Amino acid sequence: MAKVIVVTSGKGGVGKTTSTAALGAALAQRGEKTVVVDFDVGLRNLDLVMGAERRVVYDLINVVQGDAKLSQALIRDKRLETLHLLPASQTRDKDNLTAEGVEKVIDELRKTFDWIICDSPAGIERGATLAMRHADTAVVVTNPEVSSVRDSDRIIGLLDAKTKKAENGERMEKHLLLTRYDPTRAERGDMLKVDDVLEILSIPLLGIIPESMDVLRASNLGSPVTLADAACAPALAYRDAARRLAGEQVPMTIPGERRGFMNKLFGRRAA
């Protein structure tokens, strides 16, 4: 059965689009039909991160307004045939998105795809509430930093109030994806630790993505980080997170966490 996921955060720049692309590619790599949907009308970027910016013909608004069929707007990924992108409009206004129109598109996507991953715009306005409205599960992307944690708390409140699930009295499943985490700085006491953020937001942890150069490199290349370099630390972390989303039990680790040079040196000596 199809599962609709919203990737949201409240605050901008914490890694929603990166995470949407990386999780989408990781799920598609499992052989499950996946579509990533950009809800950021007017400021679309998922096409760029996915490397499909030159292939956009029709977009979400065209489909909502009936100017194009869904199959015309969907872009199939060149690397993975199970991965698709539904881009947002760059020129139109977000007021063109209607609740009914979005519902129709999501219902149609549910018929063909196993995973529908909605990349929410930042903020708490129309675009963000429409992106979360029809979701079964939410991935709350948070940086270990005060303003991001505060905004995530606000978004969690909205997920429990303004979604279809919440209105039907059902429980909205929410997961925390902690991005840009630096274990060394957290250990030194200069960054909120995983447990601090978990205690404050009190939603289950989906994954910890380490701060890494590989993320920027992947977006430079126009490739989800899970496809750009499957062996790098953030790719491993996203792949584990995708497996947890699919219901697998995967032990929680901070991939790429290396012992310091001195530790390594002494550790080796002691051994």
Partner 1 sequence: MSLFSFLNRRSSAPMARERLQVLLAHERAQVGHSDLVGLLREEILAVIARHVQLDQDKVNVTMQRGENVSTLEVDIEIPVTASVRAA
- Is 226 annotated in some ligand binding site? no
Restricting to residues 14-73, name those near partner 1 by CB under 8 A: none
Q: Phi and psi dihedrals of 36, rounded to 5?
A: -105, 130
93 binds partner 1 (CB under 8 A): no
Cβ nearer to partner 1, comparing 194 with 246:
194
150 binds partner 1 (CB under 8 A): yes
- Is 207 annotated in some ligand binding site? no
Stretch that binds partner 1, among 147-155, 174-182, 221-229, 240-248 (CB under 8 A): 147-155
- E-state strands within 173-219: 173-181, 205-210
Report helix, strand or coil for 145.
Answer: coil
Q: Count CB atoms within 10 A of the CB of residue 222.
A: 16
- Is 14 annotated in some ligand binding site? yes
CB of 142 to partner 1, least distance (A): 11
CB of 208 to partner 1, least distance (A): 16
Rounded to whole angstroms, how far apart are CA atoms 116 and 112?
Answer: 10
Q: Phi and psi dihedrals of 93, rounded to 5?
A: -95, 150
95 binds partner 1 (CB under 8 A): no
Report helix, strand or coil for 60.
Answer: helix
169 binds partner 1 (CB under 8 A): no
CB of 187 to partner 1, least distance (A): 10
Binds partner 1 by CB under 8 A, chosen from 4, 122, 186, 218: 186
Alpha carbon 93 to its chain centroid, in Å, reads 23
190 binds partner 1 (CB under 8 A): yes
Q: Which residue has the tokens 């491993």?
A: 236
CB of 115 to partner 1, least distance (A): 31
188 binds partner 1 (CB under 8 A): yes
Rounded to whole angstroms, how far apart are CA atoms 230 and 226?
Answer: 5
Cβ nearer to partner 1, comparing 200 with 221:
200
Q: Contact at 8 Å (CB) between 138 and 145?
A: no
193 binds partner 1 (CB under 8 A): yes
Cβ nearer to partner 1, comparing 82 with 179:
179
Amino acid at the residue 238: Y
Helix, strand, coil % (nearest 5) of the chain? 45, 15, 40
CB of 193 to partner 1, least distance (A): 7
167 binds partner 1 (CB under 8 A): no
Rounded to whole angstroms, how far apart are CA atoms 222 and 242?
Answer: 20
Q: Which residues are annotated as a binding site for ATP?
A: 11-18
Q: Which residues are annotated as a binding site?
A: 11-18
